[in-house]
Structure 1
Amino acid sequence: MNENIKLIHGDCLLKIKDISTSSIDLVVTDPPYCIGTTSNGKRGSWSDNNLIRPFFEQFFEELRRITKDTSEVYINTDWRTYPFLYPI
């Protein structure tokens, strides 16, 4: 066990606000996979992605705040999600 590792459990948009500015070296995240489908699992349209845009805008704004200039950020995604996330 490494005492320099801290796992934080909870709503990421709330918990991330407790993290100090420019204090994180590495972020590995697996955002929600609601891209390209509706909440009932049926095929959705590209415009459905706008429903989650506010979440990602807030999340990435906080990521920019908490990470150092030399930090690495790994986002697990797929080919459908990447074009949506890239501009944000």
Structure 2
Amino acid sequence: MSLKIAEGRTLKGHKIGLTSKAMQASSQISEPDYGALLDDMFFHDGSDIPTDRFIVPRIEVELAFVLAKPLRGPNCNDVRRL
């Protein structure tokens, strides 16, 4: 991640995927996946999406939350936040 930031990309958020047991089973994994979202991973409303950027393009419903303040607490670390 530090190399991507050094190249000028900006961290915009985080993603958690495959949170349901059904999706985990269909992907043959036993836990959700997670990752960072960078500025070049977003598309403006109405823009053309270059499908050649993706291995198997498809649409999946996602939920996102914008928090007013960072999560804090004595045991609140990156792993627990995800």
TM bucket (normalised to shorter chain) is under 0.3
TM-score by length of 2: 0.27
Structure (1/2) with the larger helix percentage: 1
Whose radius of gyration is greater, 1 or 2? 2
Q: Which has the higher contact order (CA 8 A, sep 6+)?
A: 1
